[in-house]
Structure 1
Amino acid sequence: MLETLKDRRIIITGGASGMGEGLVRAFPGLGAEVVSLDISERQGREIAEESKAQFVQCDVADQQSVEKAVAQAVDTLGGLDVLIHAAGIAPGGAAEEIPLETWNRVMNINATGTFLTNQAAFRYLKDDGGQIINFASAAGVQGLKNKAAYSASKGAVIAWTRTAAQEWAKYGVTVNAIAPAIWTPMYDKTRASMTAEQLAAHDAYMATAVPLGGKLGDVERDFVPVMAFLSNEGARFMTGQVFPIDGGTLMMR
């Protein structure tokens, strides 16, 4: 994949951890100019510096913060070709026990954050076209037990993505989403919190739930190449889609 993103100007939110971090670390090596946005300044800046990217602090749930950060990122990049909106949270809990505070926080970061970052990026993409890639989830398609707020927020992301794709197509702006199932440090923490019995049951479930390999995918091997393609001009004729990167778990139709 040498230079597959040569000269592409890309903003990546959520760049201080997880899949966002994986993209910030990988994309400069593929030729892209990258600005990472995240609320966690110290970690985000360190990752960006290590990866030869730039960093701007941003709270994706705050309109003023988003507009300022995106403007600064675009100025740094000298324009914009791609927004990848990876920032999000996924607290759990039984549906009947979710506090309103938690519901609002999840919706503000995951759903409103998508709305705000997409709108801000669109202002810089509408003249020359470009690509927006949002992070959805299988949870937003088929639900996920003990993740009702998260599932609802990702359902909103999917509906927003498909609608914005229709409205912004006339400007040459594509809007797609991915539904990833990728192994991250957060997943390591989840596994570490399980008892031996719970972990054995979980791994047995994953062995059947993920047809390709029986476990979550690898960031560098399974995730980055797909995101590089979706961030390239070769993906310009696809919009309003949800692309699972999950080993065949979701099998979208």
Structure 2
Amino acid sequence: MPLLPEEITSQSFRRQRWGGYDRGQVDAFLQCVQLDYAAAIHRIGAVAEDRSRSAASWDELARELAAIASDGHDAVRKARDDAEAEATAIRQRAEHAAAAMLEHAEQAAAATTHQAEQLRSAAQQYADNASKRLDDARQHAQQIEDHARHRADTLRRDADDRRARLEAAERNLLDRLRETNGAINTLRSQTELADQLQALINDVQTGTITTGSAGPASEEPTATNGGVH
């Protein structure tokens, strides 16, 4: 272990009988000091050599850094020039593309405007035609309604006339039925009277009725307006 400065200062030795220090301890201590200082001198030389090499290395590094910086400046300048040239080319291409897009947009806008105008004109014409067809449909519907109303009135009058004729015919038929019933009753009475007269004639022919006893039955029938009595 290397000696420290305070160890050198505080080092003590045993005294001999005659008042001096122990020679062996002093020699051993000095040998340790020699070795430590020799090692220190060696380390100092190594450090100095390292510093010299480091200085040379730093100089070389500085030169390399200067070269790198110079190359970097050149590269930066070249990159900047290339970037400016590329930016100029990109700007020119962008301007050309923008001009082409603007021209295309203007053409598309013009075509769209023309198409919109055509569509508006077609829509207006369609609206006019639709309005005319609607007016025609309304007029036709009014005509149909008027015709239907007139037809309904005509049918109503015809129905009223037919009902009146049917009622008159029904009354006439009822009158005829009553007359027919009266004629049938009259005919039935005449038929019964004819049957009685035929029976009387048959009795006279067979001699079942004597003269003077016939009474009213012996009277000959007389014809009247209502039939035979």
Query: Which structure is richer in relative contact order (CA contacts within 8 A, separation 6 or more)?
Result: 1
- Between structure 1 and structure 2, the one with the greater Rg is 2
TM-score (norm 2): 0.13
TM-score (norm 1): 0.12
Q: By percentage of residues, which structure has more helix?
A: 2
Q: By percentage of residues, which structure has more strand?
A: 1
